[in-house]
Amino acid sequence: MLPIFLLLLAGAVLMALRFVQLRRALLRARAGEATFRLLAEHGRDAAFLLDATTLELRYISPAAQRLTGYDQAALREHAARLAADVPARLQRWRDGDTSRLTLLREVELPHADGRLLALEISSTIVPASARERGITIVGTVRDVSAAHAQEAEREKEQKRFASMLSHEFRTPLATIDGAIQRLVSTSRDADEATRKRYVKIQTAVDRLLAMIDDYLSPERMAAIGRERAADGIAPLALLQQAAATVPASHRVQLELDEDLPARLRCDVPGMALCLKILLDNAVKFSPPGSSITVSGKLVPEGGVALCVRDAGPGLREEELAQLFEKGFRGTDATHAGAGLGLYMARAVVDVHGGSLQGHNLPEGGAIFRIWLPLPG
């Protein structure tokens, strides 16, 4: 009988130890959930715990009520509707699709007062351990309505700018186009060289009008910065193409850091146009025979800096704040123009999420600096 008693006693001890272990695991889980709730109570974003099996909210922070205007009962109804895709997501995750472990998505939800909210929901599947039951989805909800409104206003401004710019170019081109057509129709007796010049002018006008339709349409300008090519262009190639536009009256020097990224993610025609505007200005305001430096380097604040430096008289300090305003022409400007070049250049850089600045150098001359962020 003694061996049986000892076996029963040993089994009882093991069961007791097992119970203690389970209780400790439960206490740790409760402590972890309590910590989560404590952090969520003080967070700006709404936090939630969702039972992935029943699609019921185990917890949602008070921020959700402040965010949406709904009470707990209404929030649970909305949560069940928004979680309708969870079973399919879980099945894909169980089948080995690890991309479903964490998801970030945007949804629209009407506020209790009727206005439409744009919400960013981040959620992560938390697998159940051997001591736990069920699978939990942990996540946060953030209101991005203001960011969407700013983006919409920004796109409207870009379209307004493109419409204005298209009009500014089309008006003089229409005058030239009409004049050259009249010359062609009334100069049948002109010599061959003159007729060739007329054809050349007409071809150039047609090309400029086609460029306006293709590149300076409101929709095209609004898309810059959103629909950039994934690989963009090599910094050296971009700067070499820009330097090639400088006339023989000036020398061009290229300076590139060795640690520049292999490619810049950007709208290539847009950045080429921006650099051409800066180089054209450098040519106009620096003496013939002088050197213009085009450089590219990584900068401490992150991103890439593309700079155009000239050896001219520099910028008037009192005019620095107006450099990029629409229609502004400096006191020293002697060349024909509408004051749109720098305004257009900054608009292109802005939609890339970058910045464009101009200032004087201690040794003389002016420098214009384009800063572009790098992915990540």
**Residues 211-262: tens digit of each pLDDT:** 676 666 655 555 554 544 445 788 889 999 888 888 888 899 999 888 888 8
Reported as a single tens digit per residue, the pLDDT across 42-93 is: 557 888 888 888 888 888 888 888 888 888 888 888 888 888 888 888 888 8
- The pLDDT assigned to 30 comes to 53
Q: Token pair for residue 348?
A: 């292109």
- The pLDDT assigned to 305 comes to 92
More confident position, 221 or 297: 297
Distance CA(300)–CA(118), nearest Å, equals: 35
Distance CA(106)–CA(240), nearest Å, equals: 41
Q: What pTM value is reported for the model?
A: 0.46
Distance CA(327)–CA(330), nearest Å, equals: 10
- The pLDDT assigned to 307 comes to 94
CA angle centred on 21, ends 20 and 27, rounded to 5°? 90
pLDDT band at 2 (very low <50, low <70, confident <90, very high): very low
* CA 290 and chain centroid, separation: 37
Q: Where are the beta strands (DSSP E) in 127-240?
A: 136-143
- The pLDDT assigned to 101 comes to 81
- The pLDDT assigned to 8 comes to 47
- The pLDDT assigned to 130 comes to 47
Residue 360 has pLDDT above 50, yes or no: yes
Q: Token pair for residue 266?
A: 């950007």
Distance CA(135)–CA(153), nearest Å, equals: 42
**Residue 162 falls in which region: left (phi positive, over 0), alpha (psi -120 to 50) or beta:** alpha
- The pLDDT assigned to 31 comes to 53
pLDDT band at 5 (very low <50, low <70, confident <90, very high): very low
Reported as a single tens digit per residue, the pLDDT across 136-171 is: 888 888 888 887 777 777 777 766 766 776 777 777
